[in-house]
């Protein structure tokens, strides 16, 4: 603040203004407009704290033991099978078996609906 005005006598009024605006925004918007917008769009948001009842929960207790993955190139019959499962995202593996990303279920549905197929003949020639 001091660098922008080059005068020390503006420091205290600017500090009071910033503090007042922060207090008023917390009273009006609560956690903030960004978090409110995420909630309205039903986007999951991780908190920076864990509820006391869940502190001792491990990933092993809540994760599925059988992980369904999608290879870089996969058949439509396999996709139709995994789309019947209740999961919303699937890990994508490369040919070496390493994870390269995540694929949302709705994206897979759009690819199938729009017939975005890979030409196997083209792939073998390249």
Report how far apart, in Å, the C-alpha atoms of 81 and of each of 19, 69, 93 are. 56, 12, 17
- Between strands 70-71 and 89-93, the pairing is parallel
φ, ψ at 6 (rounded to 5°): 65, 15
Mean pLDDT of the chain: 81
Whether 36 and 69 share a structural domain: no
pLDDT (0 to 100) of residue 100? 92
* Count: domains in the chain: 2
Whether 68 and 105 share a structural domain: yes
Residue 65 lies in a domain: yes
How confident is the model over 19-57, as pLDDT tens digits? 998 888 778 766 677 777 888 888 877 777 788 888 888
CATH of the domain at 98: 3.10.580.10
Burial of 111 (0-12, 13-18, 19+ CB in 10 A): middle
Kindly state the average pLDDT of the residues 99-122.
83
Kindly state the average pLDDT of the residues 13-17.
88
pLDDT (0 to 100) of residue 3? 63
Check residues 120 and 101 and name the one with the higher pLDDT: 101
Q: Which domain holds residue 76?
A: 60-113
């Amino acid at each position: 603040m001091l660098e922008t005005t080059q005068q020390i006598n503006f420091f205290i009024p600017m500090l009071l203004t910033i503090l007042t605006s922060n207090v008023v925004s917390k009273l009006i918007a609560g956690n903030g407009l960004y978090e409110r917008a995420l909630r309205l769009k039903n986007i999951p948001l991780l908190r920076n704290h864990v509820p006391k009842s869940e502190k001792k929960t491990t990933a092993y207790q809540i994760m599925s033991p059988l992980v369904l993955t999608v290879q870089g190139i996969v058949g439509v019959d396999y996709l139709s099978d995994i789309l019947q499962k209740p999961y919303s995202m699937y890990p994508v593996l490369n040919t070496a078996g390493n994870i390269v990303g995540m694929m949302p279920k709705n994206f897979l549905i759009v690819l199938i609906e729009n017939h975005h197929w890979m030409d196997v003949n083209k792939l073998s020639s390249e």
